[in-house]
Structure 1
Amino acid sequence: MFKILGAISGFLVLGFIGLILGLIGGSFIDRLLAYGPGGVNPFSATRRQSVFLETVFILMGKLAKADGRVSESEIAHVEQFMQKLRMTQEHRFKAIALFKQGAVKDYDIHPQLNVFLTACGYSPDLKQMLLVYLIIMGLSDGHLNAAEEELLQAIAGRLGYHPAAFEQLLDMVMNQMHFSAGSASSANTLDDAYRALGVDKDSSDAEIKRAYRKLMSQYHPDKLMGQGVPEDMIAVATEQAKEVQIAYDLIKKSRNLK
């Protein structure tokens, strides 16, 4: 944000040279706000990837235990999830241990959330992807029970989400999943498509295109890996992007968008 403001201000005052100086100064302020006085992310990509994996599976264990017990179906869903990710054997063993750790009765997730926020909290995309993984896990049996939704709301709040923003994200992911088979799985196909993008039928063409581009950027594999999502955990984001694309194509067709 300050990079852009600095560039504009510098250009107006000093022309092209001012634009360059404004970019440099604004970038420094952006890094300072994101990472603190050092101006750079103190954690390596490897460290961020490790923290992301740890947090996802610890919270999955906590989510599975939210109603008091971890069912056989929930264990099966986690197994399917890991297969879907095509995780390395090393990550798979680590993920199982972390899941069991999170599923321990009365396990306190807040220290792990603090670790996540320290290493990854600078990135809105990483926070959103963490919630997307958890929502998909929670919906793996077809619905969220009250205890699961309450826990997800608490986690979202800790990540800085307003309740309304979390509800919108939940609705978007639920409707994106309607397109997981490569086509819509609901009679209300077009309604689902709008909700999958976080817009509605009254949204303008420009608003719809903007929402689509934002989601595709958030789910972009290279961007997420660069920020801290392990490579073998990118499959879910890739699938979500495909679902968004199908939903957008359906809206484009109904509106004759170019």
Structure 2
Amino acid sequence: MGGIGMFIIVALLVSWVFNSIRNGLSNMLPSNSNSNSNKIRAKCPYCGELSLIDSEDSWKCACGKVFVYRNSTIYKMEDTCSDIAIHVTALLAKIAKADGFVTKEEVSVLEEIYNRFELNNNQQNEAGRIFSNEKSNISDYKKHIHKVKELAKEREILKVVVECMFMITMTDKNFNNEQEKMILEAVSAFGLSECEYKEIKDIYVEDLDEYYKILCCSNKSTDDEVKKAYRQLMMQYHPDKYVSKDLPQDILDSITEKYRKIQESYDIVNLKDKTKINDMKKSYQKEDSVEQNSNSENNKEEVAADKVNNK
């Protein structure tokens, strides 16, 4: 019994030693489970294969397809926005919010821009999420301007980005100081010339100073102030007030012309779409031309009548 007891004790000691050695070695060796614990399990949207990835980025699956992991969501490569589209969308979100709030009209213009660049439905959905997230903080707009500059391959792309900024800005016909500051920052960072800037600005920003002046207002006047001034002037210069006053015809014509100019000015400053403004200007110019031709014909008839009478 004594020999058996001694054998058991030795066996226990040997087992303890081997276990201690094994545990010590395992503590010294790197653990695969620890190294994999920081990995992200991503399912390839093409083949369904699971992959371990490190971070948000573009990843190539064993099937050969590239997928994108972004904002805790996995996308097919063709259903995601390009890097430059992401930063342009963020920039547009900030310039839309720069005047305090984002309007339905601005969102509609944004959708027009998406269609212009032929984004598919999934890309538009992602761009919409980016827009919603980025509009909450406009203070970091400069970093997106510089990322766009870094990513853009052609100068024309930079000019199109500035044009898109104007499209968003001018939906409410108000060239807000903060929005102008953002656009000028982009123009400077993109290296565009003053001539290029003015060329783009003239497409979207109509100089309405002369029309505001006729209404005795300025472009800083509110809609209510403009409307009030318009109504007062229309009452003051309404031709019917002067018909019975036995005034010379040239003065009556002058009053009628003033009345027409007031109406024209009010119509133009109330339009938000520059294309419509130009159309309305052409309409009024056409009326002027017809009126001038009519007056010219009348003058000819008067001259001919005078000649006949003189004979």
TM-score by length of 1: 0.44
Structure showing greater radius of gyration is 2
TM-score by length of 2: 0.38
